[in-house]
Amino acid sequence: QWEKLSDGSVLWRISFIASGADALFLTYDRFWLPEGGKLFVYGQDNSDVIGAVTHEYLQGDQDNPAPFTTGIISGDAITVEYFAPSYVISKPIISIENIYYGYRNISKYGLKDFGDSGNCQVNINCSEGQNWQDEKRAVARILLTFPDGVGWCSGALINNTSENFSPYLLTANHCLRNYYDAVSNASAPNLIFYWDYEFSGCDNQSTQPTIKQTIGATIVANNSISDFALLQLTQNPRNLTNFNPYYLGWDRSGSTGGSCGVGIHHPMGDVKKIATHNLTPVNSNCYNNNYWKISNWSQTSNGWSVTEAGSSGSPLLNNNHHLIGQLRGAGTCSNENCLNPARDVANYGKFSVSWTGNGATDNRRRLNHWLDPAGTNPGTLNGISLYRISGPSIVCSSGASFTVNNLPTGATITWSQGPYLTRTSAQGANPCIFSSTGSGSSWIRATLVIGSNTITLTDKVVWSGVPQVTVTGPSVGYIGGSYTYYANTAPGAQITSYQWTLTPPYDGNNIYGYGYWANTSFNNPNGGYFQIGCTVSNNCGSGIMGTTYISISETKNDYIVSPNPASTIITISVVPAVPGAKGLTDFNAVYDVSIHDMNGVLQGRKEYSGDCFTIPVDNLKDGNYLIRIDNGKFVSVKQVIIKR
């Protein structure tokens, strides 16, 4: 149905209702839009909206329109809407081939409710994902369509030795269900890839993230020997609005790369999650030695993430942040998921096996032909970000230079910075100079405009200026004692030296520095009040000395509590320091006395003076209590029993 609007523009809509469906989505055998035209797809209540789809987003042309797919719309109604301004003359080509109807076994993969993963799962932006913020930008949720239905998998962008940002994505061969194949059926125009599909924080949310998707791929290599599939994406995710893709590094050496790592995945087609392990992957006895086995994921502060249906194809990353495999499943081993995460097992096809396809001669059955175009055959390759801020991790008052790499011609930059920094170059300069105005942790941010696309890059975290330090340790001590002190600095301050001092400098008293900690000894026969100081330095210079103090005496007061056990009152008698004790004889003490139960709960508190005082305890229940006595220099704790 065409509708001409008052300004000369035109609007076309078609709606479909499939009673009882949990979700619907459409595939098109021929699809093309003229420049200026916009297509939207939405549900009945507009809660799910796809679009605007525009000419720049599509493959093919008017004479040879390409297949296309639009994503999932929840509910049993779906509308396709096309809008064209008055200046657009050409008609669109919108040929709907299939309407997929989601129900029963389809909805269990999350098509109805994006929150269908298990309750043990940990969101990627929880603390567990803090050190994996680059790698998460490689991982996609994949919707695969087949003649008889659909399914979810995960996959990840992967770097190659030319480092040219080719849109290669690694996933699992079994996700292709023997339908797509690099040799027999390589074209997969209806696959949908969802990017940045994650919650912004740690907690689950009721509204799904903004949809950023690309459509279509070609299967360039796959092999069941290690269950890998390498896809070349038709639409490049680097062209998406406000998305900065990352291309994972890899390790083909066959080494595990250490005894810890993570899996980043989309279980049940849900938002991005992270699973953590603290063990060395071993050869799988659930499949064979072509697979790594993770037999025990770690319980962490925000859950106990494991793999589930929909996680297949997701990357296993070692502690060097290199991919060493992609997920196949549990095989013959336990697959209890969130019902019993301690027993859940995951197996990953080894990247080292996939590299040559276990000796395959056909390039379409191995990875190295595609991921080593430079022919250098490295054992490892680091990951790379499309756009990134490069520069030092410390900024001094003299200034430091920061650059956005790979910036295309015509792009613009808007710089911003956190506390303790000022920009000294012109706005938009590349490189750009920033200088320190104070001391502390800070950040530098760049927002890019590339054509109609706006991208905010990951912050570059820096330390600004000289370091800050606080010193902690005992505040009271005795002649002949030895005490330890610690210099506490902020993470990222990049300390290069520690200098410890003890003042005043009495003979027999010493301080020995061992980097961030120091040991003191007080052997001079005279007590007193002493300062322990530490000055720390980094490449910007030395900060203000941090200090603390200790009072040194020959001995200390003691206290006698009687009667003990007691019923109604107790008497506290002060036993003075030995005659001539330095540091106490001139001290006119006021005693802060508090009574606590054995759980530390305060039961009463009052100040007293003199050398003997009584305290009523008739309000206390029978039991054991602690009496804390603080005379302003020393704290003593005595135990008393209340018994009637």
Are 562 and 638 in contact, with CB atoms under 8 Å apart? no
Phi and psi angles of residue 335, each rounded to the nearest 5 degrees, phi first: -135, 65
**Mean pLDDT of all residues in 145-159:** 90
DSSP 308-329: -TT-TTPEEEETTSEEEEEEEE
| Cβ contacts of 637 within 8 Å, gap of 6 or more | 626, 627, 628, 629
| Cβ contacts of 579 within 8 Å, gap of 6 or more | none
Does residue 587 register a pLDDT over 60?
no
Cα-Cα end-to-end distance for the chain? 93
**Cα distances (angstroms) measured from residue 202 to each of 119, 127, 130, 301:** 13, 8, 11, 11
- The pTM (predicted TM-score) of the whole model is 0.70
**Mean pLDDT of all residues in 188-207:** 93
Neighbours of 438 (CB within 10 A): 14
CA 550/CA 617 separation, integer angstroms: 34
151 confidence band (pLDDT: 50, 70, 90): confident
pLDDT over 90 percentage in the chain? 67
Give the up-direction half-sphere exposure of residue 594: CA atoms within 13 A in the CB hemisphere. Answer: 13
pLDDT in tens, 34-72: 999 999 999 887 767 887 888 877 778 899 998 888 888
Does residue 138 register a pLDDT over 90?
yes
Beta strands at 77-84 and 38-42: parallel, antiparallel or unpaired? antiparallel
Does residue 453 register a pLDDT over 90?
no
Residue type, 28: Y
Mean pLDDT of the chain: 90
pLDDT in tens, 610-633: 888 999 999 999 999 988 888 776
Hey, is 352 helix, strand or coil?
A: helix
Please report the pLDDT score of residue 266 as a whole number.
96
| Tokens matching residue 157 | 């962008």
Top pLDDT among 111 and 336 is at 336
Go through the domains of the chain in sequence order and give each one's CATH number.
2-103 (2.60.120), 109-381 (2.40.10.120), 387-463 (2.60.40.1080), 470-553 (2.60.40.10), 558-642 (2.60.40.3080)
DSSP 88-104: --SPPEEEEEEEEEE-T
| Tokens matching residue 175 | 């996700």
CA 310/CA 296 separation, integer angstroms: 19
CA 473 to chain centre: 34
Are 75 and 83 in contact, with CB atoms under 8 Å apart? no
Residue given tokens 């756009």 in the structure block: 387
DSSP 461-522: EEEESS---EEE--SEEETT-EEEEEEE--TT----EEEEEEES--TTEEEEEETTEEEEEE
**Mean pLDDT of all residues in 392-412:** 94
**Mean pLDDT of all residues in 564-578:** 84
Taking alpha carbons only, the member of 370, 373, 357, 58 closest to residue 219 is 370
| Cβ contacts of 339 within 8 Å, gap of 6 or more | 118
pLDDT over 70 percentage in the chain? 95
Does residue 113 register a pLDDT over 60?
no
CA 136/CA 248 separation, integer angstroms: 9
